[in-house]
Amino acid sequence: MKQYVIDQLREDDYDKILEFLQKSAEPSEFGDVFWLRLPPELYNEVQREHEKCQPFCFAVNLSLSAAAFEMLVRSRQMLRCNCIAYADERQKDYIINYADRMLDELKIKI
C-alpha cells in the first residue's frame, strides 16, 4: 500500500490527532481508521463519471506511534470498480498537504 506516513508520534500527539480526526473525518468500523473525503473538484475523469460510486475518500490509519495517510482513493459505495485507484498527482498533493496542515494546526513538530 502506498502511504504518506508520519511516524515517531508521542502519546500526546496521538491524542491530539485522534481528537482532530474524530471531529473532521468519518469513523470506520476498524477502530483507529478514519475516512476523509476527497473534494469533488479533485476527482479524475473516471471518478467524475462514476456518480454511483461517489463520494471518494482516502483512509487514515492511526496508531500510537504513527499516522498513515493512504494514497488509495476509494469509494465507500463499491468495493471493486475501475474508479478506485491510487491517487493522481493532484490528489496526492491534497492528501500530503492535508496531513501537513493537520500537524501545523495541532502544533505537532516531527
Percentage above 90 pLDDT, the chain: 89
Cα–Cα distance, 52 to 73 (Å, whole number): 15
- Whether 2 shows a pLDDT value over 90: the answer reads yes
Nearest to 4 by CA among 99, 107, 110: 99
Please, which pLDDT band fits residue 103 given cuts at 50, 70 and 90? very high
Helix count and strand count (H, E) for the chain: 3, 7
**Consecutive H or E run containing 89:** helix 89-106
Query: Rounded to 10 degrees, what is the CA torsion of 28, 9, 74, 78?
Result: -20
Is the pLDDT reported for residue 105 higher than 90?
A: yes
Average pLDDT, the chain: 95
Q: Which pTM value belongs to this model?
A: 0.92
